[in-house]
Amino acid sequence: MSGSPADEGSPAPGPERALRLGTRASTLALAQSGMVAEALTAATGRAVELVHVTTYGDTSREALSVIGGTGVFVNALREAIYAGDVDFAVHSLKDLPTAAPEGLHLAAITERAAVNDALVARDGLKLADLPAGAKVGTGAARRMALLKMIRPDLEIVPIRGNVDTRVNHVRSGDLDAVVVALAGLQRLGRAEEATEVFGPDVILPSPGQGALAVECKDPELAELLAVLDSPLTRAAVVAERTMLAVLEAGCSAPVGGHAIALDDNVLSLTGVVATVSGSRGLRLSHAGAVSEPEALGRRVAQALLADGAAELMEAGA
Ligand SMILES: NCc1[nH]cc(CCC(=O)O)c1CC(=O)O
DSSP-assigned states of every residue in 89-115: EEEEGGGS-SSPPTT-EEEEEPPP---
Mutate to test the pocket of ligand 1, among 111, 163, 178, 240 (most ligand atoms within 8 A of CB): 163
**Ligand 1 lined by 138 (C-beta under 6 Å):** no
Q: What is the DSSP letter of 128?
A: G
Give me the active site residues, please.
Answer: 95
Q: Give me ligand 1 centre to Cα 138, in Å.
A: 12
Residue 22 phi, psi (nearest 5): -75, 135
Q: What is the pLDDT of residue 62?
A: 59
* pLDDT, tens digit (0-9, with 9 covering 90-100), for 259-297: 999 999 999 999 999 998 999 999 999 999 999 999 999
**Ligand 1 lined by 180 (C-beta under 6 Å):** yes
- Of the candidates 298, 314, 310, 295, the one whose C-alpha atom is nearest the C-alpha of residue 246 is 298
Q: Which atom of ligand 1 is nearest to the CA of 206?
A: 10
**Ligand 1 lined by 213 (C-beta under 6 Å):** no
Q: What is the pLDDT of residue 87?
A: 98
C-alpha distances in Å from residue 169, one per residue of 135, 175, 180, 192, 245? 11, 6, 12, 17, 33
pLDDT by 10s per residue, the chain, length 317: 344 444 444 455 566 689 999 999 899 999 999 999 999 999 999 999 999 998 666 665 555 555 455 577 799 999 999 999 999 999 999 999 999 999 999 999 999 999 999 999 999 999 999 999 999 999 999 999 999 999 999 999 999 888 999 999 999 999 999 999 999 999 999 999 999 999 999 999 999 999 999 999 999 999 999 999 999 999 999 999 999 999 986 557 799 999 999 999 999 999 999 998 999 999 999 999 999 999 999 999 999 999 999 988 887 65
Q: Give me ligand 1 centre to Cα 285, in Å.
A: 24
- Whether complex ipTM tops 0.90: yes
**Ligand 1 lined by 181 (C-beta under 6 Å):** yes
Closest residue by Cα to atom 5, ligand 1, is 92
* pLDDT, tens digit (0-9, with 9 covering 90-100), for 23-49: 998 999 999 999 999 999 999 999 999
C-alpha distances in Å from residue 189, one per residue of 37, 47, 317? 18, 25, 36
**Ligand 1 lined by 183 (C-beta under 6 Å):** yes
Q: Give me ligand 1 centre to Cα 3, in Å.
A: 40
202 contact partners, CB below 8 Å, separation of at least 6: 150
Mutate to test the pocket of ligand 1, among 36, 92, 203 (most ligand atoms within 8 A of CB): 92
How many whole angstroms separate alpha carbon 247 and alpha carbon 309? 8
Phi-psi region of 21 (alpha: psi -120 to 50; beta: other; left: phi over 0): beta
Structural domains in the chain, CATH included, are 19-111+210-229 (3.40.190.10), 117-198 (3.40.190.10), 236-315 (3.30.160.40)
Closest residue by Cα to atom 15, ligand 1, is 181
Tell me whether residue 167 is exposed, middle or buried, using C-beta atoms within 10 angstroms of its C-beta: 0 to 12, 13 to 18, 19 or more.
buried
How many whole angstroms separate alpha carbon 94 and alpha carbon 183? 12
Number of Cβ atoms within 10 Å of the Cβ of 268: 17
Q: What is the pLDDT of residue 61?
A: 57
**Ligand 1 lined by 210 (C-beta under 6 Å):** yes
C-alpha distances in Å from residue 163, one per residue of 118, 179, 261, 282? 12, 10, 29, 28
- Write the DSSP string, 251-316: TTS-EEEEEEESSSSEEEEEEEEE-TTSS-EEEEEEEEETT-HHHHHHHHHHHHHHTTHHHHHHH-
Q: Give me ligand 1 centre to Cα 300, in Å.
A: 24
Exposure on the CB side of residue 186, measured as CA atoms within 13 A: 14
Closest residue by Cα to atom 2, ligand 1, is 95
> Torsion angle, CA of 180/184/186/192, rounded to 10 degrees?
-20
Q: Give me ligand 1 centre to Cα 210, in Å.
A: 7
Q: Give me ligand 1 centre to Cα 182, in Å.
A: 8
Cβ–Cβ under 8 Å, residues 316 and 257:
no
**Ligand 1 lined by 94 (C-beta under 6 Å):** yes
Q: Which atom of ligand 1 is nearest to the CA of 113?
A: 11
